[in-house]
Amino acid sequence: MTDTNTTKHLYQPTSPNLWQGRIDHEDGEAGRRFHQMVKVINDDRTPNAHPPGMVILGFCCDQGVVRNKGRIGAARAPDLIRKVLANTAWHHNNQVPLYDGGNILCQDHDLAGSQKELADHIGTALEQQNKVLILGGGHETAWASFQGLARHLHRQVKTPKIGIINFDAHFDLRSYSKDDNHYPSSSGTPFRQIADHCQLLGWPFQYACLGVSRASNTQALFNCAEQLQVFYREDHQLVTQQLDKRFAELQQFIDNCDHLYLTIDMDVFPASAAPGVSAPAARGVSIEIIESLLQPILNAKNAAGESKLLLADLTEYNPNFDIDSQTARLAARLAWQISHSMLDSSVLHSTTSPV
């Protein structure tokens, strides 16, 4: 049971004014944009309150970045990404609704409380057969995202095979103390927390980290990745000349998973393409390569023809250091691409009838 007195100050409905933009009346339905299709909902956790579709949630939190000694500002990111996404063109089937489920806030430095609140909202959205896209926030978002997905799947399967695919310059496998005192959890610990959670439940820990910068990860983190059998590729390995190998490896990883959770840390891109991040990358991975590697993830289907991708998040956009909204535009483009896949796969599933 959710304590409404506790959660009330952690939840904020999205202002409809954020979803504004150009309207091309002369083009009719073919001229529609995202802002014309979004339905803002106000923390409605009533079962089956809305037809299933896709839900956007914001996580206005960078407390994990503060703890990780990073540059703060990511808490402001969700609404700024929404503003850019609002004016992008709509190319989706209109049978599947798109909802904005509001923002989760972090108050009084209570990171665990805000992560639990986000996990609750994700779990509810998934239970109502929605796909979910989270706009972070620091990468502490990932621990909340996985908890929400894990709770949902654990109700259906005793041992779900969840594949985590993280485009990131960092492993985010830092050590932390369970009491959160000596080495508190942070934006650098989410996948270590997920690994411990999977071990506790007896689940496989299937984690792929693509774009790792050796210059930005200590040997201790590489040792941890090896110990946990993380599949990873470094930034210099994600290049055009090696793309066929990367496709084959990624497809093999996907084939061994029943469900996928995609997370993109904006610092995986070069600082020239994404200057507005908490930890800018000197090298990074090109937009073209990451867009190419997203395709097998977005297109992955299970034996029933349903999309394996249930949940995705975008993290570490820091508007305090952005230049001419360059990083916001890149984050919005990724959100546009991911939502395109989620909405279209929902259409396919809802309109497919048994033979």
Who wins on pLDDT, 351 or 314? 314
DSSP 295-354: HHHHT-B-TTS-BSEEEEEEE-B-GGG-STTHHHHHHHHHHHHHHHHHHHHHHHHHH---
For residue 307, which phi and psi values (nearest 5 degrees)? -65, 135
DSSP-derived letter for residue 233 is E
Using one digit for the tens of pLDDT, what is the confidence trace for 48-64?
Answer: 678 899 999 999 999 99
Measured CA to CA, the distance from residue 171 to residue 86 in angstroms comes to 32
Mean pLDDT, to the nearest integer, of 106-118?
Answer: 95
For residue 16, which phi and psi values (nearest 5 degrees)? -60, -20
Task: For residue 157, name the pLDDT band (cuts at 50, 70, 90).
Answer: confident
At 353 the pLDDT is 33
Residue 166 predicted with pLDDT over 70: yes
Q: Which residues make Cβ contacts (< 8 Å) with residue 200, sequence separation at least 6?
A: none
At 96 the pLDDT is 87
Query: Token match 């989270």: residue?
Result: 134
Percent over 90 (pLDDT), the chain: 85
Who wins on pLDDT, 344 or 305? 305
Task: Lowest mean pLDDT of 37-46, 60-69, 162-171, 257-266, name the range.
Answer: 37-46
Mean pLDDT, to the nearest integer, of 95-106?
Answer: 93
User: Which has the closest alpha carbon to 307: 256, 336, 342, 257?
Assistant: 342
Using one digit for the tens of pLDDT, what is the confidence trace for 205-253?
Answer: 999 999 999 999 999 999 999 999 999 999 999 999 999 999 999 999 9
Percent over 70 (pLDDT), the chain: 93
At 355 the pLDDT is 29
At 354 the pLDDT is 34
Q: What is the pTM of this model?
A: 0.94
Averaged pLDDT of the chain: 92
DSSP 50-65: S-S-EEEEEEE--HHH
Residue 2 predicted with pLDDT over 70: no
Residue 126 predicted with pLDDT over 60: yes
Who wins on pLDDT, 93 or 228? 228
Residue 44 predicted with pLDDT over 70: no
Residue 6 predicted with pLDDT over 70: no
For residue 65, which phi and psi values (nearest 5 degrees)? -70, -40
At 156 the pLDDT is 86
Using one digit for the tens of pLDDT, what is the confidence trace for 287-309?
Answer: 999 999 999 999 999 999 999 99
DSSP-derived letter for residue 90 is P
Using one digit for the tens of pLDDT, what is the confidence trace for 13-33?
Answer: 999 999 999 999 999 989 999
Task: Lowest mean pLDDT of 25-34, 62-71, 150-159, 342-351, name the range.
Answer: 342-351
At 349 the pLDDT is 45
